[in-house]
Each structure stands twice: as structure tokens, then as C-alpha cells.
Structure 1
């Protein structure tokens, strides 16, 4: 009972702290909430002292943030989240309607992600676990920005071809394009993680025995997928919340009245009742998704997890020797090296939107600036910053993953905060500037890695070799150092490498929404945002930074394939030395 009550109290405390932080947002940012509300209601109206005083009186802003928070929280017991400061409408129906829209979009996006993940690991399933070359298609999908994919789908499929509607939310046909924009990158990441686990499942004794008895390959493949899915369910729960509240850019492009867009608009306008209710809905959704994923994992694994009779999926394998990482890295370095000598800020209006040529290999943008120069100079900031954040996220994820009772509730709360809202909170506390997106992404980047570490440790602790090592009397630290960490660190490191393009995309998304770097900075997200209006006239201005992001994804995927648990070559010991070896093992801590 105590073990169940502590996480509940921990989650409740974090939720209260998050909601209180949002309620203090105007006062932390030292902005007048009455002025912000006036601009959101009518940007043309003059902010006279009389008008601002009337707004403060109507919204009870002079009572201070704590009384406002107490009044808002008191109404939650009755299902009343107050009224919007902007429209005056009741908050609860509006948030529930937006949540329903986002849940429907999330369900369709998850279906797209499941199909995409199946296609990514189809070759491994067909070959029954024998590793082939890492597919570059999944790397490109994982590295494509969601907002860029959404823009291309809306422009080409929706407007030019007219196959599907590109704007609005009026029926099932309107869900297809945004679900594709959200589901393809998520499915690529999940597919790579599943493809990483499948060889270990096919190498287990049950799979070899089933193949020897002549069972159909499809049955063995289906059971192998079932064997690997529990390790991915926690990350799937994170994707559920991310697709619901983090799809702000996609909802903006397709004009979808979802929870992410509603939360963003409330955050920009400092409409605190709507913002607090939307964040609380995301936190509750995160807790429900986490609980459902853990229950499903226990049902799929069965009593083996409890009895310590679970085979390990992470067997020692020699690292793959491939030339792809060197080729991808060489191309990326060549692009940076060719563009660095060029001036990324040089304007030439007579060269506006020029197509690629010898003088401008990537063409020019709407101001006549060389796109190659801007991509190369932006790479220094984007790549170095993404690498630093990935390293910090990997370290924090592993350390917090070792403490699941501490990190579990923290992951639920952190994952419920969209990066856009995190950027706004960071801006309120630390101020704006180029550091804001880095801090915002760092606050959430460790959560998937901590969840992955906890899930793998939970299964690895139930492995037969760990049970045997404990039976010999080995202590906790010996088991952690010699058995658990060598099995868990390689897959989590590969996961961190797969997340590297996603971190670069998160930085780019914040810049795309105007919350990161500002002009004339050559940051990649800002390049995409600046050149998107000219995508039809000058597609090279958008495709160049998108292609470099895809190249970064291919480099991360191919490099991740080389991070493997190396086999430990043991020498056969003489019988007289074996008792001493056992005593050494038993006494080690």
C-alpha cells in the first residue's frame, strides 16, 4: 500500500507545482496580464489606464495570483474550470472538445505509426532476426520536421492535387493528412526501436524450437513482436501524450481546433484558466497512458517478470562494421565546409529566389542570401546544441531510469508539458533569447530515455542470468555493474542517437513558431519558417535545410547500429581455480 501511495502523492505534488507555475506565469514574466488580455481581445484598442483598470476589475487581477489559483482550483471539484479571460466562455466544455479532437487525431496518427513501424522492421521479421543493413528510409522519416511534412502534404496533396482537404476539421477525411504528418516520424522511431529488439527475441530458445518444429514463419514473427512490445510500451505511452499536446505546429498548419493549439493560444494570450485546464488534462492523460502501458506490459509478459525467469533480449553481439556512418558524416561535413567561407548575411535583392547554380549550389532565399551559407553556418549552432542536449539527456535519462519510483511520476508530468509551453515557461523565468529553446528542450529530452532505461531494467532484472548471479550471492552493485548496465546502456545509447534528429527538430520547431532564434540568425528552424511561404516558387530554399536534417537522421541511425554490447571473451579456468572464482563472485559488491 505504501509503495502505491508514494508515487500517487509524488504525481499529485508535481501536478500542483506545474499548475501553480502556470498560474504565476504573468507575474514571473513581469508582464501586465491586463495588457496581454487587451491585446488578445482587440489589438487596435488603446491601452488607456481606464481600460486596463476595467479589465483588472472584471478578472479580479488585483486579488493576486494565489487567490486566483485558489478560486480556480475550488471550482474543479464541481467540474468548473472558470471562464476564459479572452472570450468569456466556459473553459471546461471548450477544453473537453479540444481534447476530443486531439484524441481522435492521436488515434489515427498511432494507426499510421503502427503501420510505419511494421514496414520499418518488415525485413527483420522476414529474415527471422538476421540483421541486414539499417534502412535509410526510416532515418529520413524520423528526421523530417512534422511542420514541413504537414506543409508539403497540405500544399501538394490538399491544394495542388485536391485529393484530400487541407484545412479545417469537419469529418474523417480531414484527419488523414495531419495524421500522416504526425504518425510517419513517430512510427519511424518506434520501428527502429522494435527492429533493435527483434534479433534478441528470434535468438531465444522458444523461437529456435518453433522453427525446428516447422511452425509457420508468420506465427514465430507474431510471437517475437509480442515478446518485444512490452519494452516499447512505456515509450508508446509517451508518444500518446506527445501526439496529443505536442502537435501544435501541425494543428496550426491544418487549422485544427485541438488541445495543443488551444493551449498554445492560451499561453500566448496568458489566458490562465484555459492554459491551466489544458495542462491538467495533459497531465491526467499522461498518467492514464503510463498506467495502461504498465498494465499491458504485465499482461503480455506474464509471471516470468515476477519469477525472474525471463530471457534477456540484449545478448552480446559484435558491433556492425558499416561504411554508411562515414559516408553520411563525410557528406554532412562537406556541406558545412563548402558553406562556411560564404557570408550567410550578405543581401542581394537582384538575386532573389535564384535556382541552384554553380555560384549558389543551394540557390538563394527571398532576400537573395546564399542558402548554402545559411545552412552551413546554422549547422554549427543546431548540431552542436543538439549534441550537447543529447549527451545531457542520455546521462540524466540513465541516472533517473535507475530510480523508477522517482523518475516515473516526474516523466509523466514532464512529458505532459509540450515543448512550446516549456519554452514559454522558460522565457517567463529566464527571459527570451537563443538559450530559451535549448533549456525548454533539455527539460523534456531526458524523459523517453529514462522511461526506456526503467523498462529495460525491469525486464533485465528478471533475466535468468541475473537470477543465477544473485543465487551465487552477488551483491546489488556487482549485479548492476556487471550484468544490468552492460545490457541496458547499448540500447539506450542507440535510442539517444535516434533521438538526436528529434532534438534538432524540436529546436527547429520552436524557431519555426517564433520562440527560438530570431532573424537574421541562420538557425535551421528559422530557415524553414522564413522560406516556407515561397515553397512553391523556390522549393530548394525549403528542401535544402530539410535534406540536411534528413542526412543528420541517416547519420544517427547508421551510427546507432554500431553501438552494441560486446561479447566478453572468457577463458576456460582450471577446476582448482573454480572455487576461488566463486568466492570472488560471492564476496563482490
Structure 2
């Protein structure tokens, strides 16, 4: 109880400015959503009519009746004022499309999404434990020196999109094998497959981040002393996890919000009536009361998850943060000799180079859904187009844009992460915005174009990197070596550039590489929704989405694009630990050691004076006797 009270008091310091800043951000977000129909330059009455009945003729009288019914002629300020006034009295208004009250329809959808989130967290925790099991076992035994970094299987899990994992689970486990129900939401058995589809990629990402922190924890003096005193390896491993968890808690909070409102594709595939699908439909139909209420609920969930993460971090390492008694987990170290990243890069370049001479748009109706052959190594799609050509040409645009967005997100996340009081509420607010909604807002402001998906993804892609930077920076500021460096007279600029950034930037950069395949898919998914590139563009997300209905008849149409995407994920994850060719071993020059001309001369020592290169050590009691 005392620790929880101390954590709450620590969080309350400076809480008024943070609360005001959070209120301003939420107000701006809600106002931006309220302006969405006018920003998109479309008639909201026409959009609502099409959502109500797509076959009804949009005559002027019908549109006028809808405007009068919804009060659209009063303008956005009046509509927003009425919605806020009702919200203060517990009334979120009525849906523009269905005419039903918003809160009675939103509450069940939020409950379904929270239940799905709970199941996905269980799967993610099991996946994280499986990813880190080898490091935990070797670290607890003091054998990390012989550990070779892995990550290929983890990279495949982290790179595969959720909707592809969901489609495979539905077709294989749900339809062909019949082990579990594939569609609907009627009980515990119906939540197994969706939880696997959402939790496996999230657990792979969290597992890689935790696996990156564990070697530093096992190298700390307490772990070495515990192993020397014969403490059981399980206890050492458990304490190492506890030491590393505070650095992951902010990203875990973001995952909680993302699993609740951002699993739109999984909810669509499994026909789950969750809040993600509800907000997507509301955004596409411009149903403002439902969209504003759903977004506000996700913002409140994000704020609650962030507060709980900060309290948990204070409970775990609060005294060490206060006393400056931590050790750095991220000291720069040279990368281990690895050839896997180079092999993956050569293989990816070979695949892209083999398809560039081919035409990705030419149609051949007589060669629809053909199996792989010498003429078509990856087969053909439903229109007879060569899949190898489409994968290769799509890589030029998808990967180039994804690299640019990842670099911008890394720089922005590092800079804003250095200002946690400014970026913390901003990160929590942006994490509650579904990517589709961010794309619609950016499209309304900037207009539709080839760079619209890049801007929409860049708006939210930096937030997990900023949260990671802030969490690591908080611990680095409490390290003993930083306290000693400050005591020796180092200035703020020196501490920031030479100590803090050098310790924080490498793990955040590895985190950014880990998210590169997901950014590539997010770009293509927004293009598929009509917010950027459109068919027949060979974007990777379009390839997967267009060929998904033919997965059972022509599995190669999905497997080959997914395999190239998994190859990109394996390259990103393995390259995050550094890549270089192993050094060639050189034979010793002679049995006596190095040549005489390479031996450093020993400076002469005056009689009666100790050498400057030696440190005086007081004799032990045994030597005195």
C-alpha cells in the first residue's frame, strides 16, 4: 500500500499541466472528427443516405429531409455543442444511420472488444515467453556468452499481417479441419481463433523487445552475485524479467489500446461485432455521433492504460529511480558476426530483380490462377497477371515509402521521447485513433493522392517509438554512471548527446526496424481503401487483399506475397542486431606472442615512486600477516 501511494504521489506531480494538455488534445481530436464530413468535401446527407439505403435515389427532397432531420444546416459548431451537451447528461445522441441511441449500441461492442483484447493478451504473453525462453535459460545459467542471436521465426510472426493470419486460421482450422468455429461471436470457443490472429504478431514484437533487454539485466552485479551464491536459476530469470518489464510497459499499454480498437481486419474476417468494426463503419458512413463516442471511449481507455503502466513502473523500480541506483541495460556493444541479414538481403534483392523485367499489369484471361511454373515462378492471380512481376514492382514503391516513413517516425519518436510530459498525452491520444480514421482525416485535410497513406501512417507511427524512448530515458537518467559523470562536471548537452542518446538510440532503432513490415502493410491497406494508390497498382497489401478470396483454390496467390513479406520481416529483425561478415582468424606470429615492434614500451619508473599506470591496492589481512 505504501508503494502504491508513493507511486500515485509521484504521478501527481505536474499533473495539472499534463491534464490540461491532454484535455486540449482530446478536444482537438473530437473537433477534427466533427469536421470530417466538411473536410472531406462531400455532402454528409448523401453519405448518410447511401449508408441507410444504397439503392435509394438521392433526389433533392430526400437530401433536404435528411439535412433537416440531422440539423446539418446549423454547421459543425452547433452539432458539436449539442453532442457535448447531451454527453454531459449521459446521452451520446442517436446514430445518423440507424436512428438508434449510441450508448446502448456502443457498450456491447466495447465489451466484445475488451474480451477479445483479454484473450489476445494471453496469447501474446505465451508468445513472448516462448520467444524469450532461450535467453532466459542461458542467462540464468550464466551462459549468454555462447548465445547466438536468432529471430527468424519471430520475424515471420511479427511480419505477417493480422488479416492474413486470420484468413489462414479460418480456412485451415475453422473450415478444412473443423476444430473450432470460424465465424461469429457466441461463446468462449469463438474467441480462440481471433485471439490467436491478434495475439501472435503482438507477442512476437513484445518478445523481441524483451529479448533485447534481457542480456543487459543478466550482466548486472546482482545477477552475477545471485548466480555465485547459488540462487536457483528460475529466481534469477524471474528477477531479470522484473528488471526489464518497466521499459516495456508503455508499449504494452499501446498494444492494449491497439488490440481493442485497431483490430478492424480481424473483426471483419471473423464477423465480430466489436468497437473496431463499429468505428470503421461509422467513419465510412460519416456517422458522427457513433464515431465521436467510440473514439472518446478509446481515448479514455488509452489514458487509463497509460496511467496503470506508469503506476506499475513506479512500483517495480520506483526506489531505484529516486536514488539513481540503476545500471544501464543499453550500453553500446559491437554487433556479433552474423551472415543471416546478408543472406536475407541477397535473397530479397534476387526476388525483386527477377521480376522487374516482367510486366505487372498485362492481363491474360487464359492463364487465370495458374500454378507456379517456369513461365510464372510465383503463378498468376485471378486476372492472369504474373505474381512475381507484381511483387517485384510493388516492392519499389511499398518498401521505398515504408523506409521513408520509418526513418521519419524514428527521428520524431526520439526527439519527442526526450520530452515525456509533452509526448506522453499525445502518444496516448494518437494510439486511440484507428489507422483508417487517421487516413480519412489526413485525406480530408491534404486531399487524396499517392502520398496520403504515407502521411496518415506517419502521423501515428512515431508514437510507440516515442513511448519506448521515454521509458528507456527515465531509467537511463537514474543510472549510477550518469550520476558519476554529472558529478565530474559534465554539462547537459554532453550528457544528452554522449550518454543518453548513445544508450537509448540503438534499442529504439531496432524497434523501428521491427515495425518496418507492419508500416509497409499499413501503407498498402490504406491504399486498398481508396485513400492512396488504387488498383491495378501492385502494392503488397493490394496483392494480399485481392488474392485472399482465392486462398483455398490457389494458395500460391497468397503464400508467395506473404513469403516475401516474411522475408522482409526476417531481414529487418536480424539486421536490427547488426550485420557483418565473420572475421577471419589469423594465426599467431610466434610462440612468444606478438612481434617485438608491436609491443608497447613501458615508461621508465623512478626509484621510490609508484608507477602512474598502477593503482595502489591496500594489502589484505592475510598479506599483512
What band does the TM-score fall into relative to the shorter chain? over 0.9
520, 524, 527: which is aligned to 1:504?
Answer: 520
412, 427, 440: which is aligned to 2:456?
Answer: 440
2, 7, 14: which is aligned to 2:25?
Answer: 14
Q: CA deviation at 1:478?
A: 1.4
The corresponding residue for 2:85 is 74
467, 476, 479: which is aligned to 1:451?
Answer: 467
The corresponding residue for 1:586 is none
Q: CA deviation at 1:577?
A: 12
CA distance in structure 2 between the aligned counterparts of 1:456 and 1:576, rounded to whole angstroms = 38
1:30 matches 2:44: no
Q: Given that residues 315 and 487 in structure 1 are in contact (C-alpha distance below 8 angstroms), is that contact kept between their aligned partners in structure 2?
A: yes
Q: How many residues align?
A: 571
CA distance in structure 1 between the aligned counterparts of 2:149 and 2:75, rounded to whole angstroms = 61
What does 1:529-544 align with in structure 2 at a 5 Å threshold? 529-544=545-560
The corresponding residue for 1:551 is 567
Where do 5+ consecutive residues of structure 2 fail to align?
Answer: 1-11, 581-601, 604-609, 615-625
The corresponding residue for 2:400 is 384
The corresponding residue for 2:306 is 290
1:308 matches 2:308: no
Deviations 1:280-306 (A, max 9, x none): 011111111111001001101130011
Query: After the TM superposition, which of the residue ranges 524-533 and 316-325 deviates more from structure 2?
Result: 316-325
Query: After the TM superposition, which of the residue ranges 431-440 and 48-57 deviates more from structure 2?
Result: 431-440
The corresponding residue for 2:446 is 430
CA distance in structure 1 between the aligned counterparts of 2:483 and 2:107, rounded to whole angstroms = 48
CA distance in structure 1 between the aligned counterparts of 2:611 and 2:37, rounded to whole angstroms = 73
The 3-state SS of whatever aligns with 1:43 is coil
Q: Given that residues 75 and 82 in structure 1 are in contact (C-alpha distance below 8 angstroms), is that contact kept between their aligned partners in structure 2?
A: yes
Q: Given that residues 369 and 380 in structure 2 are in contact (C-alpha distance below 8 angstroms), is that contact kept between their aligned partners in structure 1?
A: yes
CA distance in structure 2 between the aligned counterparts of 1:112 and 1:504, rounded to whole angstroms = 24
CA distance in structure 2 between the aligned counterparts of 1:400 and 1:575, rounded to whole angstroms = 49
What does 1:361-510 align with in structure 2 at a 5 Å threshold? 361-510=377-526
1:90 matches 2:91: no
Q: Given that residues 342 and 579 in structure 2 are in contact (C-alpha distance below 8 angstroms), is that contact kept between their aligned partners in structure 1?
A: no
Distance 1:195 1:506, change over 3 A: same
Q: Given that residues 117 and 260 in structure 2 are in contact (C-alpha distance below 8 angstroms), is that contact kept between their aligned partners in structure 1?
A: yes
The corresponding residue for 1:174 is 190
Q: Given that residues 48 and 285 in structure 2 are in contact (C-alpha distance below 8 angstroms), is that contact kept between their aligned partners in structure 1?
A: yes
Q: Given that residues 490 and 563 in structure 1 are in contact (C-alpha distance below 8 angstroms), is that contact kept between their aligned partners in structure 2?
A: no
Q: CA deviation at 1:575?
A: 8.9
Q: CA deviation at 1:133?
A: 2.5
The corresponding residue for 2:592 is none
CA distance in structure 1 between the aligned counterparts of 2:497 and 2:545, rounded to whole angstroms = 47
Q: Given that residues 154 and 166 in structure 1 are in contact (C-alpha distance below 8 angstroms), is that contact kept between their aligned partners in structure 2?
A: yes
The corresponding residue for 1:62 is 73
CA distance in structure 1 between the aligned counterparts of 2:188 and 2:532, rounded to whole angstroms = 34
Alignment RMSD, CA only?
1.7
The 3-state SS of whatever aligns with 2:335 is coil
The 3-state SS of whatever aligns with 2:575 is helix
Query: After the TM superposition, which of the residue ranges 174-183 and 474-483 deviates more from structure 2?
Result: 474-483
Distance 1:65 1:213, change over 3 A: same
Deviations 1:269-328 (A, max 9, x none): 000000000110111111111110010011011300111111111133221110001000
CA distance in structure 2 between the aligned counterparts of 1:95 and 1:235, rounded to whole angstroms = 26
44, 56, 61: which is aligned to 1:50?
Answer: 61
CA distance in structure 2 between the aligned counterparts of 1:231 and 1:59, rounded to whole angstroms = 48
Q: CA deviation at 1:79?
A: 1.4
Q: CA deviation at 1:78?
A: 1.4
The corresponding residue for 2:621 is none
CA distance in structure 2 between the aligned counterparts of 1:37 and 1:10, rounded to whole angstroms = 34
The 3-state SS of whatever aligns with 1:121 is helix
Where do 5+ consecutive residues of structure 1 fail to align?
Answer: 565-571, 579-589
The 3-state SS of whatever aligns with 1:167 is coil
219, 238, 255: which is aligned to 1:203?
Answer: 219
- Normalised by the length of structure 1, the TM-score is 0.95
339, 343, 361: which is aligned to 1:323?
Answer: 339
1:115 matches 2:131: no
CA distance in structure 2 between the aligned counterparts of 1:46 and 1:276, rounded to whole angstroms = 28
- Normalised by the length of structure 2, the TM-score is 0.89
CA distance in structure 1 between the aligned counterparts of 2:441 and 2:162, rounded to whole angstroms = 23
Q: CA deviation at 1:512?
A: 4.5
Q: Given that residues 410 and 509 in structure 2 are in contact (C-alpha distance below 8 angstroms), is that contact kept between their aligned partners in structure 1?
A: yes
CA distance in structure 1 between the aligned counterparts of 2:82 and 2:44, rounded to whole angstroms = 17
